Amino acid sequence: MTRTNEPDQTALTGEAAAQTGERPRRRTVDVWLTGTEEPDYTDEASQEFQPDDTERELAEQLGSVVDDDYFIEEQPQGDDERMIVNMGPQHPSTHGVLRLQIELEGEIIRRTKPIIGYLHTGMEKTAEDLMFMQGGTNVTRMDYLAPFHNELCYSLAVERLLGTDIPPRAQAIRILMTELNRISSHLVALATNAMDVGAISMMLYGFRDREQILDFFEKATGLRMNHNYIRPGGVAADLPPGWRADVTEILDTLPRRLDQYDAILEKNPIWVERTQNVGVVTTEEALAYGLTGPTLRATGLEWDLRKSNPYSGIEQYEFDVITGENGDVYDRYRIRVDEIYQSMNIVKQVTDTMPKGDYMTGDRKVAPPPRGRINESMEALIHHFKLFTEGFRVPEGETYAAVESPRGELGCYLVSTGGGKPWRMHTRAPSFYNIQGLPIMMADSLVADTVATIASLDPIMGDVDR
Amino acid sequence: MTLPGYGLLKGMGVTLRQMFRKPITVQYPKVRETPVPRARGVIALDQEACTVCMLCARQCPDWCIYIEGHKEEQEPSKPGGRVRVRAELDRFDIDYALCMYCGICVEVCPFDALFWSPEYEYTEHNMDGMLHDMDRLQDWLATVPEPPGLQQ
């Protein structure tokens, strides 16, 4: 890959684009791949990096110096004059409290700087204060559109340290729930992406159909969101009676609804014009910035953790990894629609082959004794108290477990020192990494494409800030 | 080659058909949905069953349960029998302003003193009103559905 300091001559200026009516051609952003020779400068689209200024950095970290303003270094005169526009954090189309500082040259975005931290709740720190059994209540609130994936990821990390075996039924329930969750999350992604571009009915339909899945979640877990259902050791409760009929109904209605979405969006000239060749990212750029999920697959790379690092027995089920070609907003939309079909396929297979058995591990060091035993046996009662007051002890060590969340690779890095609480928990949140791709996706694009690009990444700010 | 604007009309056809369908919205104060059996609406307390073991208060991730109690001597069941000591509940408050409805307290209770009730209409204009004392929690017990609930 070559990199030059020269400004790209082919990129049109604002006025020239307005005159010709041509969409400005995107300047590819050079990225520094790990292992290659270090570049002369480290200006990556917008983020300035000053390695020598350590004293100032320290002051910034301590909070005594606040520097989040964004200056134009060389102001060109005349038609090329640049302007900085602040978008968010209270903007409805930034999907939460994302703030963007956008440098405009006429109608064209030259640089973008995402600013995060407005929803920081210290969840990773809170996790150190909660026992492993309570941890699910915390992680489920990070990515609130995919709570089951967060719970599964945390549980997998804890189970990997414990070395516990999970019964097949619990594993199948986990897959059933996470795949249904992927459908509901993608429905919201489609709904909000279309709404940001102006298709209000699509927004209403998407939320309507998601509600059907949430109703099933409520039936199974008791809550629509933030379920605390997948626990270290299994799941909290067995599936409710009549679950098969509910899941079958969801699978029966969804294809009809997806046809409606296609009728609204797929060939709609407004939608196609506003999404094709917008927010383009290449495979190299996506890999260099750590983008995962539909954003990475839209560039054509077949990378899905469900195939490459199967978890919870998902390798038993047949499904395809959907990839795009252009890496633009339209491809990400198509991938989400097709992934809904794939997830439905998995859900159908799970429903057909749901094994019988326990939904919680039989390991009494992890799972509490059955309720019936407590009334009969003093030892069981003592064990119950011991387990819940001290929590189960997780062997010393560190581990990383990752699942494919609707937004990409969701990882949980867990360090235990042998106690009942994690010593450190870090979440590799897909939204956080995907947001980093905004500066390169939005470089040299039109202002009007900003909201379409943001929405196509489907960022969840609770996931970004944690 | 399709007609120009065909895709647009196709989408509008969907919305047009939708106009003649019955809306799925439930007009809440007039129409009410029945909560599911496992619904986590409000926590009910059985004062008789509670032994003041504090397990729920310790396990609550956001510490929204407040328990106080004392010990009382009971008459021996038979003449000449041993005097038994029984824990009596003085205070059992749940602060629903803090509660995040995770259900850990209900699950850990070893003596079946806490239950989920699907009732949900207990919001208040004042934050103080969200602190339910033991008598109010006892009243919820009448609304608890028959098991099987979330577990067992």
- My answer on whether A387 and A358 are in the same domain is yes
pLDDT at A48 over 60: no
Nearest CA in chain A to B63: A130
Count the helix, strand and coil residues of chain A and give each as a percent rounded to the nearest 5: 45, 10, 40
- The ipTM, to two decimals, is 0.86
pLDDT digits (tens, 9 = 90+) for A176-202: 999 999 999 999 999 999 888 888 888
Better pLDDT: A20 or A254: A254
Nearest by CB to residue A222, choosing from B13, B39, B53, is B39
A461 assigned to some structural domain? no
Across the interface, whether the CB atoms of B7 and A268 are under 8 A apart is answered: yes
Question: What pLDDT does residue A57 have?
Answer: 67
If we measure between CA atoms, which residue out of A7, A31, A29, A20 comes closest to residue A82? A7
Better pLDDT: A36 or A154: A154
B78 assigned to some structural domain? yes
- My answer on whether A412 and A327 are in the same domain is yes
Which pairs count as long-range contacts for A159-163, CB under 8 Å and 24+ apart, including other chains? A159/A232, A159/A233, A160/A399, A160/A401, A161/A394, A161/A395, A161/A397, A161/A399, A161/A414, A161/A416, A162/A232, A162/A363, A162/A366, A162/A392, A162/A394, A162/A395, A163/A395
If we measure between CA atoms, which residue out of A224, A210, A219, A218 comes closest to residue A182? A210
pLDDT digits (tens, 9 = 90+) for A294-330: 999 999 888 889 888 898 888 889 998 988 888 889 9
B104 touches chain A (CB under 8 A): yes
For chain A, what is the mean pLDDT? 82
Chain A positions in Cβ-Cβ contact with residue B116 (cut-off 8 Å): 222
CATH number at residue A288: 1.10.645.10
B45 assigned to some structural domain? yes
Q: How far apart are CA A108 and CA A14, in angstroms?
A: 6
Mean pLDDT of the B115-119 span: 88
Chain B positions in Cβ-Cβ contact with residue A265 (cut-off 8 Å): 11
- My answer on whether A386 and A418 are in the same domain is yes
pLDDT digits (tens, 9 = 90+) for A354-397: 888 888 888 878 888 877 777 788 888 888 888 888 888 888 98
Question: What pLDDT does residue B150 have?
Answer: 47
Chain A positions in Cβ-Cβ contact with residue B8 (cut-off 8 Å): 268-270
Decide which of A115, A136, A166 is a domain's last residue: A115
In this prediction, residue A217 has a pLDDT band, given cuts at 50, 70 and 90, of very high
Residue that has been written with the tokens 């407040």 in this structure: B66
- My answer on whether A142 and A55 are in the same domain is no
Indicate the number of domains in chain A.
2
Q: How far apart are CA B66 and CA B137, in angstroms?
A: 13
pLDDT at B46 over 60: yes
In this prediction, residue A437 has a pLDDT band, given cuts at 50, 70 and 90, of confident
Chain B positions in Cβ-Cβ contact with residue A219 (cut-off 8 Å): 36, 38
- My answer on whether A261 and A353 are in the same domain is yes
Nearest CA in chain B to A265: B11
Structural domain of B67:
35-143
Decide which of A86, A115, A144 is a domain's last residue: A115
Decide which of A115, A132, A162 is a domain's last residue: A115
- My answer on whether A309 and A387 are in the same domain is yes
B5 assigned to some structural domain? no
Question: What pLDDT does residue A404 have?
Answer: 92
Nearest by CB to residue A218, choosing from B36, B55, B110, is B36
pLDDT at A221 over 60: yes
Across the interface, whether the CB atoms of A201 and B18 are under 8 A apart is answered: yes
Across the interface, whether the CB atoms of A388 and B55 are under 8 A apart is answered: yes
Chain A positions in Cβ-Cβ contact with residue B51 (cut-off 8 Å): none
Indicate the number of domains in chain B.
1
- My answer on whether A85 and A132 are in the same domain is no
Q: How many CB contacts within 8 angstroms connect chain A with chain B?
A: 96
Residue that has been written with the tokens 């941890």 in this structure: A135
pLDDT digits (tens, 9 = 90+) for A168-183: 999 999 999 999 999 9
In this prediction, residue A103 has a pLDDT band, given cuts at 50, 70 and 90, of confident
Chain A positions in Cβ-Cβ contact with residue B117 (cut-off 8 Å): none
Distance from CA of B41 to the nearest CA of A (A): 9
Mean pLDDT of the A387-416 span: 89
Neighbours of A253 (CB within 10 A): 12
Question: What pLDDT does residue A181 have?
Answer: 93
A219 touches chain B (CB under 8 A): yes
A410 assigned to some structural domain? yes
Residue that has been written with the tokens 């959907």 in this structure: A322
Structural domain of A216:
123-436
For chain B, what is the mean pLDDT? 85
- Paired tokens of B41: 């609406």
pLDDT at B128 over 80: yes
- Range 58-117 of A in CB contact (< 8 A) with B: none
- Range 128-157 of A in CB contact (< 8 A) with B: 130, 133-134, 136-138
Q: How far apart are CA A330 and CA A299, in angstroms?
A: 11
- My answer on whether A214 and A89 are in the same domain is no
For helices A147-162 and A168-197, what crossing angle results, to 10°?
150
CA angle A303, A248, A205 (to 5 degrees): 70
Q: What pTM, to 2 d.p., does this model score?
A: 0.84
B25 assigned to some structural domain? no
A203 touches chain B (CB under 8 A): no
A466 assigned to some structural domain? no
Nearest CA in chain B to A136: B102
- My answer on whether A427 and A315 are in the same domain is yes
CATH number at residue B81: 3.30.70.3270
Nearest by CB to residue B61, choosing from A130, A388, A389, is A130
Contact yes or no for A307/A318 (Cβ under 8 A): no
Instruction: Report the greatest alpha carbon distance in chain B.
Output: 101
Nearest by CB to residue A268, choosing from B11, B37, B40, is B11
Distance from CA of A130 to the nearest CA of B (A): 7
A385 touches chain B (CB under 8 A): yes
Nearest by CB to residue A240, choosing from B7, B38, B107, is B38
Distance from CA of A219 to the nearest CA of B (A): 6
- My answer on whether A108 and A189 are in the same domain is no
B122 assigned to some structural domain? yes
B40 touches chain A (CB under 8 A): yes
- Paired tokens of A305: 């953790």
Chain B positions in Cβ-Cβ contact with residue A134 (cut-off 8 Å): 59, 61, 102, 104
Across the interface, whether the CB atoms of A389 and B13 are under 8 A apart is answered: no
B149 assigned to some structural domain? no
A138 assigned to some structural domain? yes
Question: What pLDDT does residue B72 have?
Answer: 85
Nearest by CB to residue A201, choosing from B4, B15, B59, is B15
Better pLDDT: A75 or A97: A97
Nearest CA in chain B to A260: B14
- My answer on whether A96 and A129 are in the same domain is no
A368 assigned to some structural domain? yes
- My answer on whether A323 and A372 are in the same domain is yes
B63 touches chain A (CB under 8 A): no
Distance from CA of B134 to the nearest CA of A (A): 23
